[in-house]
Structure 1
Amino acid sequence: MTALIAIVASFGLVLGLAWYLPIDRVNNPRAGIAAPGATGDSGLYPTTPSVPLPTAPDGGPLTVAVIGDSVAGNMYDALTEHPTAELTPVDVTYGGCGIFDAEKARADNGFIMESEKLCWSWQDKLRTANAEQRPDVYIVHNAWDADDQLLDGTWVGPCSDVWQQRYAAQLETLVGIGAEQENAPLILLSDDRARGAKSSLSAERLGCKTAVENAVMQAHTNVQRLPFAAAGCPGGVCATRTEDGSAIYTDGSHFSATGLAILAPWLQNEMAKALQGA
């Protein structure tokens, strides 16, 4: 009973922190209205050209492990609630977490995330998914990793050598976990759009994070980019509502039910394009 109470309490803490985190640090689009036909074709989260989602190597539905923060959790929800083809999503998401595995993370407003207590279990959970479900695809959204990270007692940011070396090692760990399977999965690393110059998601900080990811993508052909930033802000315009006035986001950060329905076909089409080499 004591163990059960501890598990429930830990889950509640993670969930509570996920919604306490600064909203603009993950996904804060500029106000706008999605143009007619913008959702699902050539505009917001486009699905053209449309590519059919292939089956898994064994002929069954694809299995997709979604890894990362609360926006990654939205991606998992989208795939679960609005599949356009048969697939099996696996949830490896934790609100406020990434894959950096520092002792703590510090947001741009000073909020401190207890990363060691709340985030480090992603590797074990992913290995369990490998053993039980054998994912064909990993989708990773880890914007939290652009925050300052407490590593060996020192705060480091994404443009420092120490941060970049650690992040490169963590990405290699992710690739290595995938390689433990008979068929290494496709790994899609999501980007995110830049915020203000003083934000954890400034253009400079995200550029440093992206540079590390690009080097890993060059070294591993199964690691590719998920263009989340451009898809959410086509032509630099980030819509927050559909043409009929429905909100795409609930709080400037997380997707609404309408937003999940828009996000899902795009995610599935991006997976299909990467798997089919389109």
Structure 2
Amino acid sequence: MKIFYTSSYIVKKNTSKPLFWTVFIWPITLLMGLEVIITEKDIQTFGLIMKEGLFSIGIPLYALIAVVFFSQMVAREFYIGKSERVLEFLIAMSNNKTQFYGRLLGTSMIVLISNLFYVAIIVIFKEKLSQIGKLLRQFSFLDTKRFLEFLIALSLFSIFVILFSVLVGIETRDVSKISQHLGSVYLLIVSAPIINLISNDFIQKKVLLYVPFFNIPGIDLQTSLTDILIIFGTNIFTLIFFVIGLQKLFKKRVEVQ
């Protein structure tokens, strides 16, 4: 119960800020701009590029955009400080473990809310606008298996992005320098798809396939079920230890504070 109390406070605090809702303006502006300039020929070209790059490029690009908007919020929620009276009360009433998982759940819920809004925006544009609708309807080729692969890749990548931001928040000693330290997270997000794109088939199948996080952009429409299971298994195993390690680190930092 205390975990949900902490998480609900995190959600209410961040969603009550006008700045939070401005992150939904850019996709609407982008889609409206494309609607004006895109042509029938462009639809075919863009559709082909988006189909080929949906997994290897699209997912990391989305994660990069998302982390630019939300990573500072996530990191600040895990910054070890007692500047807020309500946060002081939460710290006093709950142990370190409860506090950590409450904050983690709260920030994850905010990212989930944003994802649902992005999905709603895409659905609306798909149904209402002619040019963008034609472009988005080309993704009807995705069958159930491919759609599940897409969700697996996007979910794993998003979880890693959240946990990387949590690590920055816990380790940062000066809250004003959080954005500076998040540069390492941006670098990781960009490097993962680049490494996959420049690697040959042998490296992708024999090396990167077993490297957590960096193997996620390797998921594409040709990835076999066996490879999907390997990628899913290695990353889930890594994420479990990552979360446990962050919780222990958070406890250590709070005790020192």
TM-score of the aligned structures, taking structure 2 as reference length: 0.29
When you count helix as a share of all residues, which structure comes out higher?
A: 2
Q: TM-score scaled to structure 1, two decimals?
A: 0.27
Which of the pair is proportionally richer in strand?
A: 1
Query: Larger relative contact order (C-alpha < 8 A, sep ≥ 6)?
Result: 2
